[in-house]
Structure 1
Amino acid sequence: MTSLSKTGSILCLATFVIVFALTIEKSSGVEDVEKLQLYDCKKVMGRIAKKTIKLFGQCTKEVKANSTKEEFEKKMSCIIKCALDKMHLLTDEGIVTKETVQGFMDEMIPEDAHEIGHVLVEDCLSDHGSKLDKDQPYCESYGEFTQCMQNTIGDFAEKANCNIGALG
């Protein structure tokens, strides 16, 4: 995978965390939809976005401080890795697991949305979660994982006819 552009990295990471906010809005059962509509989806999305942007800024500074200009341009996926770590989505070994995803959801997402969140993350976890390599100099595997999440969320949003602008 080629290194992601800064904008691409931001979009990938933001898309990854927004998956959980989208799960609040769309669900297959009528009863579930009624329960989930009790939550302020814009507030949840806002909280996630605010945290993500703040951490992305911190991580950008950290990666930039430890890189030459040429290296920095190749390390956009390292910013993603850093932000995932600061969100406690990575284990000490640098991988994403069901448990780390659950911890993120416990902190940021209403409990009624957890099940569908796990379903959405499942394929990327099985395909990429354990293959994340914290020792890669350019953190390519983290970009690949986040790209998988972006594709999964895009497919989900299309099938569920989600409109981010309609949340809340």
Structure 2
Amino acid sequence: MVGTGNWVKLIGLGILITCSRSMAEEATTSNPTSSGIAEDNNQSPTTAPSAEETTTSEGVACRKVMMILAKRMMKHLNGCGKELQGKYPVKEEFQAHFQCNIRCFMQGVQMIDENFKLSNATAEAFLTQQIPEKYRELLRRMGTPCLNEFAPKLDPSDEYCVQYGEYMKCLQNSIAETC
């Protein structure tokens, strides 16, 4: 039987491998020249990038953001899972409270405040502390709809932390749609 901590590691590793493969595939299909810059004989250096190139560069940024988030999640979720498993050693209880892993993660990366509340201020603090500046606007664009929808719904007194999990699903779906 695989322990909870190992499942978290396996899921995180799967995310990292998927992102790495996507980045490698893009690098091999862009027809790089010896200078490392993709060659395009139909476009002069002074022309604006095409819509396809803009989408491609945003796709690379998306994958990098996903890698950053996956690494942050792996670091915190492993500890959160162990803490939760210690609190709820019976499998059924642990599974019922599993969304509290998300709340623990959000607290660990300071996405929520000491009262377990999410706000524009805590989201901005998370971006500033955890995400490189060049990816912040992309993550703001992906996360703002979820922030607006779920910040008022997060209930620190909910023993099962349901809305924290729903918030993370919203973010995951937003990232998937954008990327």
CA contact (8 A) 2:65 2:139 kept: no
Quote the RMSD (CA, aligned, Å). 3.2
CA contact (8 A) 1:44 1:108 kept: no
CA contact (8 A) 2:73 2:105 kept: yes
| 1:107-122 → structure 2 map (5 Å cutoff) | 107-122=129-144
SS at match of 1:126: helix
Aligned residue type for 1:57: N
User: How many pairs align?
Assistant: 131
Structure 1: unaligned runs, 5 residues or longer? 1-5, 19-28, 158-168
SS at match of 2:111: coil
- Report 1 or 2 for greater relative contact order, CA contacts < 8 Å, sequence distance ≥ 6: 1
> How far has the Cα of 1:43 moved from its partner?
7.5
1:131 matched to 2:153? The reply is yes
> What does the per-residue CA deviation read over 1:101-141, in whole Å, with 9 as the maximum and x for residues that have no partner?
22222123222322222121111111112211111111101
1:149 matched to 2:171? The reply is yes
With the length of structure 1 as denominator, give the TM-score of the two structures: 0.64
Larger Rg: 2
> How far has the Cα of 1:44 moved from its partner?
6.7
Structure 2: unaligned runs, 5 residues or longer? 1-6, 20-47
SS at match of 1:155: helix
> What does the per-residue CA deviation read over 1:13-47, in whole Å, with 9 as the maximum and x for residues that have no partner?
x7xxx9xxxxxxxxxx95xx7xx89x999877655
Aligned residue type for 1:134: P
Give the fraction of aligned pairs with identical amino acids, expressed as a percent. Answer: 28
2:45 corresponds in structure 1 to none
